Structure 1
Amino acid sequence: MTEASSPDPRDNEPLRDGTSLMGFLHILRKAHTALVGRDKAHLRFHQLHTRGHARQYIEELMPMLLEEREKHRQQRHRPIGR
């Protein structure tokens, strides 16, 4: 069982444009769009207003994106003829 991490005191800080965090979030949005479609990804992305929202978004998407990456790796390394 995993322990809940203690809340970061910066979780309530607003997200600022031009930061590396915003750049990373835009990359995640692009990947999310490829998986679930533009409308759903767009709606979810526009719910992000604070660093805490960003953290939740990352924690929500990463397992799904990692699973998808593994599927692609498996397909790439599948022996020919199968």
Structure 2
Amino acid sequence: MNQMPTPDLRDDEPLRDGSPLMGYLHVLRKAHMALVGRDEAHRRFHLMSTRGHARKYIEELMPLLLKERDRHRLKRVGARVS
């Protein structure tokens, strides 16, 4: 049985420039650009306007970034072992 996460009361709040969350999102966008290209990453990034949109972006992107990080680490460690 899957439980639905309770929505955060702040999900409808707008994203504020200069906030730590926006800084984090810009770092994620840069990593996203490395994976899918600039145009696709910018298109997806500019769909966000609220904290809820930001959360969804993070939830979508983090599995891809973690998978890429693991792939990169294995490649780096494998090169040292060989």
Common fold: TM-score over 0.5: yes
Sort the Cα spacing of 1:75 and 1:20 in 2 relative to 1 into closer, same or farther, 3 A: same
Paired amino acid for 1:12: D
- What RMSD in Å do the two structures reach over aligned CA positions? 1.0
Shift of 1:3: 2.7
TM-score normalised by length of structure 2 = 0.93
Q: Give CA-to-partner distance per residue, 1:23-78, whole Å, 9 cap, x none.
A: 00000000000000000000000000000000000000000000000000100111
Paired amino acid for 1:21: L
Partner of 1:20: 20
How many Å separate the matches in 1 of 2:33 and 2:51?
21
How many Å separate the matches in 1 of 2:47 and 2:57?
9
Worse-superposed segment, 45-54 or 1-10: 1-10
Partner of 1:42: 42
Name the structure where helix makes up a greater proportion of residues.
2
Shift of 1:2: 4.8
Q: Tell me if 1:33 matches 2:63.
A: no
**TM superposition outliers: structure 1 runs of 4+ over 3 Å:** none
Unaligned runs of 5+ in 1: none
How many Å separate the matches in 1 of 2:71 and 2:2?
26
Secondary structure at the residue paired with 1:39? Answer: helix
Identity of aligned residues (%): 65
